[in-house]
Structure 1
Amino acid sequence: MRPRSAEQIQALDIAATAFTEENCIDFSVAGSAPTIDAERRRGRGAGLNMSGRFEKQAREIFDDGWETIEDLPPFRTEVQTERARTIITRNESPDISFDRSINPYRGCEHGCIYCFARPTHAYMGMSPGLDFETRLFAKPNAAELLGRELSKPGYQPKTIAIGTNTDPYQPIERKFAIMREVLEVLDRSNHPVGIVTKSALVLRDIDILGRMAERGLVKVALSVTTLDRKLARAMEPRAATPERRLSAIRGLAEAGIPTSVMIAPVIPALTDSEMEAILEAAHDAGATEAGYILLRLPLEVSPLFRDWLLRERPDRYRHVMNLLRSMRGGKDYDAEWGKRFKGAGPYAQHLGRRFTLAAKRLGMNARRRKLSAESFAPPLNGGVQLSLL
């Protein structure tokens, strides 16, 4: 066991002072947690599996000379069921458009290296690294809980956001179908919902979504980070390819479901040059609205992303991080409300201007559809005690 320190995280920048293959190999020697063997993490996004920030001690795997490390098995997806006590999560953040959300799963098998939700796995005593994408939690009682919560006296309906933390259509949804059950409850209750996903699996539920769209109850956003299939495979190893996401936009739009594209995140000096191309491709597929979010690197996401950059794009490391810090007040991340999603400074303003002009040219965001909660009817079988009057 080795104690961790802030210097270990800062060593990432020291390791990147020059961009040679030797620097990348010596990256783990520079003081950070060692990168997991490539064969053990094949098909995963993170290269590290450091302990969470709440743990008193940190554990690192290293070869003690007996070569037993070569016998360790590859990381496989494990799913535990969680009997949640509540399902609607509330927030009071002034810079987001919703005040409630649902997360059918904890962790996400998509393995997106930049995922800002990774630090939440530390609350489970697990690593925001490889644990986040391999040790997952499913909430099979989500639909039941939702029915109960919607039936509570005094409940005031507003749009519920799904997919803001982890993807509700990640691969394990094929087996558990929790998201479909949640949609069935919302459909019966005439309750509005906004969905964000990277998965073409959303087309499976087009029957429910189509019915809800006719009543102004649903909007779906597909997140498209890059059109480069090779880059997407490296950054988002188990998410749908860019082509399949665009195909999902087309399928939803043709079914009359309001569809938008989220360029999230925009990574300076890596994907930001694709902003206009992504908007054009999504518009051609039928998306009528669009948005973007600048790369966010809170807590453990920063070392994970920087490790990935040194492995996958070492020649871009300094350029990416320098531009990002120029928009984050010299830091990897600034969580200040109003700045965290778009950044600040000249480069951030330039990105915003590019997005606005491209969206306007394509006629996107000209008319944003608002979801309606006027027809909401609490579920009759919500499990809430009935009145005796």
Structure 2
Amino acid sequence: MKTRGTGLNPNNRFQPITTDRQVDDGWHRDPSDEVCPDSVATEVTDEQVRTTISRNQSPDVPFDQSINPYRGCEHACIYCFARPSHAYWDLSPGLDFETRLIAKPNAARQLRQELDKPGYRPSPIALGVNTDAYQPLEKERRITREILEVLTEYRHPVSIITKGALILRDLDLLSELAAQGLCSVRVSLTTLDNDLKRRMEPRTAAPATRLKVLRELTNAGIPTGIIIGPVIPFINDQEIESILEAAAGAGAQQANWILLRLPLELDELFQDWLQRHFPQRADHVMNRMRDLRGGQSYNARFGERMSGTGPYADLIRQRFNRKARAVGLNQIDHEPLRTDLYRRPGGEQIALF
């Protein structure tokens, strides 16, 4: 499928019956799609949500609250760990994840109600974790923008991870938040190779554009960093040093990395992608992944799922840390995002314990 991450649409783990959408007979093409007229059309369904803030207790992530304005992601990254979550909506983690999206038009209104609850205590909200808050759909729907407007009004801390250049549209809000110590942004930068980007992340911003995003965010006074995520053995791992050098040159202050994760249906999807794009090294990649995961394609154990184990994981860590030090990344510990400025409209201050 041109401009899509996968042509597979396997049944999800909860549904034994599936619809085969792999045949490219032109039926699903959208002639009005000016960006990608030769691709399966994107379908969007609205969901009226009852709650906006999701909470987690994972020791592997630096936040306990997040907001996802959308379900599914048109960026179509083949490696996306969020693909299996589409199964909860009786949809496939394959092509459905990229083409059958769910938008939350009442998210900002619902967020305001949650922040107004007397018992709410502020802590940083990660915006766009399970799917990118600045995927192409956001240009039309503006749900992320509406959420940021609420967070700005309430002086609520927020962190953002994105591959989308559309984030620059919201520089006014992000700058206002950052000036008060309420905002930070991480750009996911997985490769500097345009051809690999096209295969791996078809509808994301180009590498040079992401570096431009870093420069403009930094110039606007917003704390920025990058995530090399995922690191894929024999696919993009050789770029670690060059990515870090380019990110530092673009103004990033922080960097970290995440090893490829293949939970549930993602294992089949990624291996199919490997066979189509890199058949000569597909077995080599998967053998190394099993070495990193205790003999399996994936190990979900906390403390190991993000980085793997064994000599190769240690080598990646050493290479990353050495180069990050050399280019001046991770040298300054940024202050935690502030929570003491939180207010409800009308001037009510909240007592923090």
Question: 2:337 is matched with which residue?
Answer: 371
Q: Structure 1 counterpart of 2:330, which letter?
A: N
Question: 1:270 is matched with which residue?
Answer: 235
Question: 1:105 is matched with which residue?
Answer: 70
Q: Structure 1 counterpart of 2:245, which letter?
A: E
Question: 1:176 is matched with which residue?
Answer: 141
Counterpart Cα distance in 1 of 2:112 and 2:269? 38
1:231 partnered with 2:196: yes
The question of whether the paired residues in 2 share the 8 Å contact of 1:151 and 1:380 is answered with no
Which string of whole-angstrom CA distances, capped at 9 and with x for unpartnered residues, describes residues 281-337 of structure 1? 010000000011000010011110110010011111011111111111111110000
Counterpart Cα distance in 1 of 2:43 and 2:22? 23
Report how many residues are paired.
Answer: 337
Question: 1:15 is matched with which residue?
Answer: none
Question: 1:241 is matched with which residue?
Answer: 206
Q: Structure 1 counterpart of 2:7, which letter?
A: G
The question of whether the paired residues in 1 share the 8 Å contact of 2:325 and 2:331 is answered with yes
The question of whether the paired residues in 2 share the 8 Å contact of 1:150 and 1:379 is answered with no
Q: Structure 1 counterpart of 2:257, which letter?
A: Y
Q: Secondary structure at the match of 1:260?
A: strand
Q: Structure 2 counterpart of 1:214, which letter?
A: A
Of the candidates 150, 157, 173, which is equivalent to residue 192 of structure 1? 157
Indicate how the Cα distance of structure 1 residues 380 and 87 shifts in structure 2: closer, same or farther if over 3 A, else same.
farther
1:360 partnered with 2:325: yes
Counterpart Cα distance in 2 of 1:381 and 1:89? 26
1:311 partnered with 2:237: no
Of the candidates 3, 25, 28, which is equivalent to residue 70 of structure 1? 25
1:139 partnered with 2:104: yes
Deviation of 1:42 (Å): 1.8
1:57 partnered with 2:23: no
The question of whether the paired residues in 2 share the 8 Å contact of 1:147 and 1:381 is answered with no
Q: Secondary structure at the match of 2:281?
A: helix
Q: Structure 2 counterpart of 1:231, which letter?
A: L
Deviation of 1:61 (Å): 5.8
1:153 partnered with 2:118: yes
1:45 partnered with 2:8: no
Deviation of 1:380 (Å): 4.9
1:334 partnered with 2:299: yes
Runs of at least 5 residues in structure 2 that lack an aligned partner in the other structure: 30-39, 349-353
1:205 partnered with 2:165: no
Runs of at least 5 residues in structure 1 that lack an aligned partner in the other structure: 1-40, 64-68, 383-389
The question of whether the paired residues in 1 share the 8 Å contact of 2:9 and 2:22 is answered with no
The question of whether the paired residues in 2 share the 8 Å contact of 1:103 and 1:165 is answered with yes
Q: Structure 2 counterpart of 1:371, which letter?
A: L
Q: Structure 2 counterpart of 1:100, which letter?
A: Q
1:124 partnered with 2:79: no
Counterpart Cα distance in 1 of 2:89 and 2:22? 24
The question of whether the paired residues in 1 share the 8 Å contact of 2:7 and 2:22 is answered with no
Counterpart Cα distance in 2 of 1:45 and 1:126? 16
Following TM superposition, the consecutive aligned residue runs of length 4 or more in structure 1 with deviations greater than 2 angstroms are 56-63, 69-74, 378-382
Percent identical: 53
Which string of whole-angstrom CA distances, capped at 9 and with x for unpartnered residues, describes residues 332-367 of structure 1? 110000000000000001101111111111121111
The question of whether the paired residues in 1 share the 8 Å contact of 2:8 and 2:21 is answered with no
Question: 1:33 is matched with which residue?
Answer: none
Q: Secondary structure at the match of 1:314?
A: coil
Question: 1:20 is matched with which residue?
Answer: none
Which string of whole-angstrom CA distances, capped at 9 and with x for unpartnered residues, describes residues 103-151 of structure 1? 0000000000000000011111111000000000110111111111111
Indicate how the Cα distance of structure 1 residues 211 and 337 shifts in structure 2: closer, same or farther if over 3 A, else same.
same
Q: Structure 1 counterpart of 2:284, which letter?
A: H
Indicate how the Cα distance of structure 1 residues 61 and 247 shifts in structure 2: closer, same or farther if over 3 A, else same.
closer
The question of whether the paired residues in 2 share the 8 Å contact of 1:84 and 1:139 is answered with yes
Question: 2:53 is matched with which residue?
Answer: 88
Question: 1:251 is matched with which residue?
Answer: 216
Aligned-pair Cα RMSD in Å: 1.5
Counterpart Cα distance in 2 of 1:77 and 1:310? 26
* TM-score, with structure 1 as normaliser: 0.84
Question: 2:253 is matched with which residue?
Answer: 288
